Structure 1
Amino acid sequence: MSTIAPSAARPHLRPLALLVRFQSLLGLVLVLLGGVLFSPHRHGRILFLAADNVANIVRSISETGILALGMTFVIIAGGIDLSVGAVLGLSSVLTAALLVNDGWTLASTLPLVLLVAVVFGLLQGVLSTRLRIQAFIVTLAGLQAARGLALIASDNNFINITYGDGPGRAPPGFALLGERLFGDTFPVATLVFVILAILAAFLLNRTRYGRYVFAVGGNERAARLSGIPVQWVRISVYGLSGLCAGVAGIVHAGQFSFGSPNDGSGYELNAIAAVVIGGTDLFGGAGSMIGTIAGAVMLGALANILQLNDVSAAMQLLATGAIIVLAAGLQTVVGRDAGSR
């Protein structure tokens, strides 16, 4: 009996496979075009393209974009991390508390905050990998634990960051994270996101470690037989995710000049949305850092154009949810091997 290749048996899936591969870029182009076409005008100018509005878009995606970079590694490796928003909140609180309440310098505060975030991520990776507990359960518990630690660190209070010399004031240099460059149009927070995105893309696509992440997510048994340290890879991606959450928390504290235990609430969902819309396979083994970046920009631009047109917050959530379901549905129909690589 002759065997028909899947691509020959279902030729109608070829356009869908192509769509899945470039869904984030195509979606971004469509959203940008829609932004131009449906943007309100003021004094003959398209508000969506105004420099201040573009700066607001890129600033708004900086923190969730940073979270999405780490989330991409986790999901490609076959995991999930629901704790990143809470770790962002914990990091922002620790940053504010150490700088304002304890009088620490930037040189001592920032490394400690990042270390706490990395250790938190690694601990979740160990619990999930060594004890074989579902990552969903471990990181959901991690979300609660990080919120609890943030409440303890802040004494359940909002910590305002004021700058200057003397007790109760943070070093003025930290305020740089809230500034804008190049004629007051490019947020420093976005520059941090761009630098981390370049490093993450290089790590994923140009290093042996990146190949290990793809291999572990694609076929764990084959990866283990090939001599890849599967457990180490699975644990390390959670450390990377924690690192990104720590950076995002520091950026958050610097942008808004405060730390709160509620910071980052719901950010994990936006980060996962950016990764899914970017074409990363939820079952692991396939994904693209460029797709994640495009997905984050697409979500930010979509939210912005809806706000410019006075669309209610409820409708914004519905639109974002519909896009996520569509992106995940396309992946399911085409199959994991047709996803972006």
Structure 2
Amino acid sequence: MLIGGIIFSPRRHGHILFLQTENVANIVRSISETGILALGMTFVIIAGGIDLSVGAVLGLASVLTASLFINQGWGLGSTLPLVIVVCTLFGLVQGFLSTRLRIQAFIVTLAGLQAARGLALIASNNTFININYGQGPGNAPPAFAILGERLLGDTFPVATLVFLVLAALATFLLDQTRYGRYVFAVGGNERAARLSGIPVRWVKISVYGLSGLCSGIAGIVHAGQFSFGSPNDGTGYELSAIAAVVIGGTDLFGGAGSMIGTIAGAVMLGALANILQLNDVSAAMQLLATGAIIVLAAGLQSLVGVRDGSSR
């Protein structure tokens, strides 16, 4: 993708626009929210599940954040923890329904997508909530505006810093802890994991809780970056998150994958979109290109699985 960006990037005064510092900053900013969603999605897919509700939960989180600040007059210390708890509980409920009632995760999270959108519409009264900063009723705390700012000479987005911190924590949790080994074991062979004494149900429920947690944080970041909350926020983000995970090499059947791969997949998607935008490619063609890459990545996974004798 880097080579392609250099080859196809427009030039200005002899400089490659794709490699300009401001453009690179735009790429990493654009992937921050979907990247955070993809971190939670990685746990879910490695454990053998899927979560289609993450984009809608992001929208719910952004609306709750804006509403509590503007309409209720709450501060940072009460608003942010509540939003994160609500979204985490939403994920845990989905995990519980899927695991305890033995309903396919696809169906449960598809219903969760609709439920989260409905809750966002109710919380916002089906209106766009603009976030104004200042003191007194009807204003959000000025400190919240930092999520929309940039560091290091106005080049490094704060939202990207949030993504990188969460990525480091997620990588440690997946690769260096007993819980991470449990997630791989459950996705690889659920029956063997259960016979080994692993609390399979708890693991399967908890990964959806992590996905809800990441969605809540992504929604807060979204509200901070754009200074508004809308029930339509996050539409289609679940597809970008799944695409990043798949492109990063995580097995859709579960049991294999890496957080580093997911991060690379998110960056690759962001770079692809940026290259197409720099060349004035239409939004429709951007979607087609993204879809083609997802199919290609899934096809390569299948091919590698067959060659390794591990195809299911």
Q: TM-score, normalised by structure 2?
A: 0.98
d(CA) in 2 for partners of 1:88, 1:247: 8
Range with greater deviation from structure 2 (142-151 or 323-332): 323-332
Q: Once the two structures are superposed, what CA deviation does each residue of 1:235-269 show, in whole Å capped at 9, x if it has no partner? A: 00000000000000000000000000000000000
Instruction: State the partner residue of 2:54.
Output: 84
Which residue of the partner structure matches residue 30 of structure 2? 60
Partner of 1:112: 82
Deviation, 1:334, is 2.2
TM-score (norm 1): 0.90
Question: Which residue does the alignment assign to 1:208?
Answer: 178
- How many percent of aligned residue pairs carry the same amino acid? 84
Equivalence for 2:105: 135
Name whichever of 308-317 and 273-282 sits farther off: 308-317
Computed over aligned residues only, the root mean square deviation of the Cα atoms, in angstroms, reads: 1.0
Provide closer, same or farther for how the CA distance between residues 153 and 336 of structure 1 changes in structure 2, counting only shifts above 3 A: farther
Letter of the aligned partner of 1:153 in structure 2? A
Q: Is 2:246 the partner of 1:246?
A: no
Runs of 4+ in 1 over 3 A off after TM superposition: 336-339
**1:255 aligns with one of 219, 225, 234:** 225
Cα distance, 1:312 vs structure 2: 1.1
Gap regions ≥5 residues in structure 2: none
Deviation, structure 1 residue 336: 7.7
Tell me the alpha carbon deviations over residues 6-25 of structure 1, each in whole angstroms, 9 at most, x when there is no partner: xxxxxxxxxxxxxxxxxxxx
Name 2:63's counterpart in structure 1: 93
Aligned pair 1:125/2:83, yes or no? no
Following TM superposition, by how much is the alpha carbon of 1:166 offset from its aligned partner in structure 2, in angstroms?
Answer: 1.1
CA displacement at 1:313 relative to structure 2? 1.1
Give 1:168's aligned amino acid: G
What corresponds to 1:12 in structure 2? none
Q: 2:169 is matched by which residue type in structure 1?
A: L
Q: Partner of 1:25 in structure 2?
A: none
In structure 1, how many angstroms separate the alpha carbons of the residues matched to 2:144 and 2:233? 18
- How much does 1:337 deviate? 9.2
Query: Does residue 292 of structure 2 align to residue 322 of structure 1?
Result: yes
Amino acid in the other structure paired with 1:109:
T
Residue among 285, 288, 313 paired with 2:255? 285
Match of residue 13 from structure 1: none
Q: How many equivalent residue pairs? A: 309
Q: What residue in structure 2 maps to residue 233 of structure 1?
A: 203
Change (3 A) 1:106 1:337: farther
| Mapping for residues 134-213 of structure 1, pairs under 5 Å | 134-213=104-183
Displacement of 1:51 in angstroms is: 1.2
Structure 1 runs not aligned, ≥5 long: 1-30
Q: Deviation per CA, 1:27-64: give whole Å up to 9, x if none.
A: xxxx1111111111112211111111111100000000
The Cα offsets for residues 69-96 of structure 1, whole Å up to 9 and x where unpaired, read as 0000000000000000000000000000
Residue 335 of structure 1 corresponds to 305
The Cα offsets for residues 164-183 of structure 1, whole Å up to 9 and x where unpaired, read as 01110000000000000001
2:41 matches 1:71: yes
In 2, the alpha carbon distance for the partners of 1:95 and 1:85 equals 15
User: CA offset at residue 203 of structure 1?
Assistant: 0.1
Match of 2:11 in 1: 41
For 1:51 and 1:326, the matched residues in 2 are separated by 30
Q: Which residue of 2 aligns with 1:11?
A: none
Bigger-Rg structure (1/2): 1
Q: Name the stretch that deviates more: 38-47 or 230-239.
A: 38-47
Q: Given residue 128 of structure 2, which amino acid in structure 1 is its aligned partner?
A: F
